[in-house]
Structure 1
Amino acid sequence: MKKTDFDIHFDHAFATVNQSRFEDWFARMASRIYGTDFELIKAGGKNGDKKSDGRRISTETIFQCYAPESPKTFAERAKAKISDSFPMVKNYWPDLKEWIFVHNNIEGLPTSASDKLEELRRQYSEISISTACRNFLKDELHDKLSMQQMIDIYPSASLNFNAVQMSHIRPLLKKIIEARSVNPDPLNFGDIPDEEKLDFNRLSPDSKYDIRRARPHIDIVDRYLDGMPNPQNASIIQAEMRAKYLELKGFGYDPDEIMGKLLVFCGGGETATVSAAAYVIVAYYLDACDIFENVPQGAPC
């Protein structure tokens, strides 16, 4: 694995994380690049986080993140966010020398926000006021991380689905057969899968991302099931996966919690390769419609 292999994980994060998750992602990278020179301010007390999503001490730089869920919201509210935030930042940090407005809008700033920044630059000429988006996050933070730091920030990168082989799938499926607790019900399966299934089940962007990465490898599961000497074993595994899903759903777990517990049920967690194999199994049974719910006909996604 080389550093450029992590570019797809950066692209996924930039496209999907927003609001507090964007702030956390930025802070995880910045704290590793700047080390003890980066101070993270946690919300607390009457002053909250003092309008700071991170401070670089040596340069008296305050970073403030704004990453709403949609470009439309950004266009409508960016100016107000800047107008409301900057005066308070100046009050909280009287020695402020630089303010960087970090955002997730790949198209750039709307003219209203740009005009407001120019107004602030004229009013506070002693302070460097700038914005940062994808290029800053990629060039100044992500690309300067070490390999180990990248793995820390993008833990699912260790899931090398290309390394999953029959030898990893076989023992996990055998374990499910040996732990048999329900009898197959041939009437309880066979729905037609829907392409919008991942969205309908409200899985997080990270869960959907890993399932999509696992999908190209589900033919390994198919080949194993087809090659088993006892055809009933395929029905046993199918029934166990369905029963476990229904049990977890009945307990009230949210979709991502269900996903995590299904991965553990399949034997994931021992090593990165075994965890990747468990993802492949879950992806297979999700596509076969034995776990999670299909989109009802006519339902909005």
Structure 2
Amino acid sequence: MLPHTGATSAWSDWYRCCHDDRFAQSQGTDFEHYVTQALSIIHGPDFINPLPKGQLGDFGCDGITGDGDIAYACFGYLPNRASEKALAVKVASDFTRAKEMWPTFGSWRFVSNVGMGPLATQALISINREHKIGSVRAIKATSFDRDRFWNELLLPLTAPELDKIFPGVPHAQNIQLQDLVPLLDKLGQAGLQGTEDAPEGAVPPQKMEFNKLSRRVQLEFSNARVHMPAIRDWFAGHSDPTLRDAQGVRFREIYLDVRRSATNSNEVVERLYISLGGQNFRLDDDLANAVYAVTAFFFDECDIFELPPENWTMEQV
């Protein structure tokens, strides 16, 4: 089990990888949206993210707890504002405005995916020295990077709470292949049962490493193995003996089309997921599980990705 949570050990890494991806790769307002969405689950219904109102703006606050004790500022990476000097200015200016407009908080948290260098660190130290215990207004200022946000704020959450932030976690539930209309339209009435008594992984780790898939995608593929026997049995028992090959050809066509414009393997996999389950497939756990399983199935069965040479080892990545 995850420490302090109800998340199963099989998927604790999946939640963490989803967080790492969202935190590190989001930019600007997308980053702020992710952080405030997570904070609304972390702090519950009393958490408030003030909407900017005309010239008032949001009073320099990207979120505050209902009791007014903890205030947040978010700063998402953008190429034109990622310098260390700009970050230090942002730390100082956000704090100064929030302190003036919100007189109750005693804890101020700066959440950013731009690394805190020496200038930004000095700005934070200056705030804490000026507002130490015994001063006119004692305030504890802290910075939250990707790891600290996970370890202190997300890790204590329960699995249902994490599901609200990262929908579509594969819990090895029943998969309904009729949801996979874009690729598997002929599998309309299939209901495949997954169990925890899983065979060895269908997709070799060497193949996933060779194609430089992210840890999150590797987990999705590896744990989809619980469905592999049922998928094979379904194809074997179908009245059309050519169906599996035909679907494999269609899947490869989609892959080749995506690969023309995608920049890396993880983007290829994500766009394959979307082509199967639609843009919001992760909002439905059953559909998400089906997407992971069928993609992994064709990844292995049809060799749509590159195979490593026989003498290749994972250390060569």
Which bin holds the TM-score, normalised by the shorter protein? Answer: 0.5 to 0.7
CA distance in structure 2 between the aligned counterparts of 1:31 and 1:103, rounded to whole angstroms:
17
The 1:17–1:271 alpha-carbon spacing in structure 2 relative to 1, beyond 3 Å, is closer
| Per-residue Cα deviation, 1:70-116 (whole angstroms, up to 9, x for no partner) | 9xx575653232133223323433555432212347xx743322222
Residue 280 of structure 1 deviates from its aligned partner by 1.4
Residue 145 of structure 1 deviates from its aligned partner by 3.1
SS class of match (1:130): strand
SS class of match (1:113): helix
Query: Could you say what the CA RMSD is over the residues aligned between the two structures, in angstroms?
Result: 4.8
SS class of match (2:60): coil
Q: Which one-letter code corresponds to 1:86 in the other structure? A: F
Residue 64 of structure 1 deviates from its aligned partner by 0.9
Question: Which of 220, 225, 232 is residue 242 of structure 2 equivalent to?
Answer: 232
Counting only pairs closer than 5 Å after superposition, residues 22-61 of structure 1 correspond to structure 2 as 22-61=31-70
Unmatched runs of 5 consecutive residues or more in structure 1: 180-192, 200-204, 295-301
For the Cα contact (< 8 Å) 1:42–1:49, is it kept in 2?
yes
CA distance in structure 1 between the aligned counterparts of 2:171 and 2:16, rounded to whole angstroms:
18
| Per-residue Cα deviation, 1:188-242 (whole angstroms, up to 9, x for no partner) | xxxxx9978688xxxxx8xx83575125546545676577686522232224445
The 1:39–1:147 alpha-carbon spacing in structure 2 relative to 1, beyond 3 Å, is same
The 1:222–1:147 alpha-carbon spacing in structure 2 relative to 1, beyond 3 Å, is closer
Question: Which of 16, 27, 48 is residue 11 of structure 1 equivalent to?
Answer: 16
CA distance in structure 2 between the aligned counterparts of 1:94 and 1:271, rounded to whole angstroms:
42
For the Cα contact (< 8 Å) 2:39–2:47, is it kept in 1?
yes
Residue 156 of structure 1 deviates from its aligned partner by 1.9
Determine which structure has the larger helix proportion and give its number: 1
The 1:30–1:274 alpha-carbon spacing in structure 2 relative to 1, beyond 3 Å, is closer
Question: Which of 293, 297, 300 is residue 280 of structure 1 equivalent to?
Answer: 293
Counting only pairs closer than 5 Å after superposition, residues 14-163 of structure 1 correspond to structure 2 as 14-18=19-23, 19=27, 20-68=29-77, 73=82, 77-104=86-113, 109-124=116-131, 125=135, 126-133=137-144, 137-138=149-150, 140-157=152-169, 159-161=170-172
| Per-residue Cα deviation, 1:107-150 (whole angstroms, up to 9, x for no partner) | x7433222222223344542413214356534553244344322
SS class of match (1:101): strand
Q: Which one-letter code corresponds to 1:283 in the other structure? A: A
Q: Which one-letter code corresponds to 1:262 in the other structure? A: L
Residue 50 of structure 1 deviates from its aligned partner by 3.0
Question: Which of 245, 254, 273 is residue 259 of structure 1 equivalent to?
Answer: 273
Count of residues in Structure 1 that have an aligned counterpart in Structure 2:
261
SS class of match (1:156): coil
For the Cα contact (< 8 Å) 1:177–1:237, is it kept in 2?
no
The 1:177–1:141 alpha-carbon spacing in structure 2 relative to 1, beyond 3 Å, is same
CA distance in structure 2 between the aligned counterparts of 1:8 and 1:211, rounded to whole angstroms:
11
The 1:55–1:66 alpha-carbon spacing in structure 2 relative to 1, beyond 3 Å, is same
SS class of match (2:123): helix
SS class of match (1:12): helix
Residue 14 of structure 1 deviates from its aligned partner by 3.6
For the Cα contact (< 8 Å) 2:224–2:289, is it kept in 1?
no
Deviates more, 1:220-229 or 1:23-32: 220-229
SS class of match (2:54): coil
For the Cα contact (< 8 Å) 2:224–2:292, is it kept in 1?
no
TM-score by length of 2: 0.59
CA distance in structure 2 between the aligned counterparts of 1:8 and 1:41, rounded to whole angstroms:
33
Unmatched runs of 5 consecutive residues or more in structure 2: 189-206, 260-266, 307-317
CA distance in structure 2 between the aligned counterparts of 1:78 and 1:119, rounded to whole angstroms:
14
SS class of match (1:3): coil
Residue in structure 1 matched with residue 200 of structure 2 by the alignment: none
Q: Which one-letter code corresponds to 1:23 in the other structure? A: E
For the Cα contact (< 8 Å) 2:168–2:283, is it kept in 1?
no
